[in-house]
Amino acid sequence: MFWLWMHLFAWIVLLIVVLSAVHSKDGVGRLAKMIARICYVVAIISGIMLLTYAWKASPILAIVKVVLAIGLIGFCEIYFSREKNFRSTIKVLLVATTIIVGVIGFVLAGGRPF
């Protein structure tokens, strides 16, 4: 249960950082980038610990979530490095991808920890 809460906390903090980065006029600061990177590490470690439980629930959905989560990390890093060159559709896609990864995580967890 500890890993599930850690994973959820990392995802919520990452969602807040992504939302603030997308809506920021002057760009993402170093602090936001570092917070996002810490969230990546926490999410990866807790995700590895939770993978066996997710695999038991639905192996295909677990693989989809892992691939999407790794893609989301890459997408966030690309956005943070070149944020001024992106249109609003890319920003919406970044937020939508973050939310989709979270929803898939809730489905795999069976609605827990709530």
Domain ranges of the chain: 2-108
In this structure, the number of other CB atoms found within 10 A of the CB of residue 58 comes to: 14
pLDDT value at 83 more than 90:
no
Rounded CA separation 112/1 (Å): 9
pLDDT value at 114 more than 60:
no
Q: How confident is the model at residue 30 (pLDDT cuts 50, 70, 90)?
A: confident
Rounded CA separation 20/22 (Å): 5
Rounded CA separation 1/76 (Å): 27
Per-residue pLDDT tens over the stretch 43-61: 999 999 999 988 998 999 9
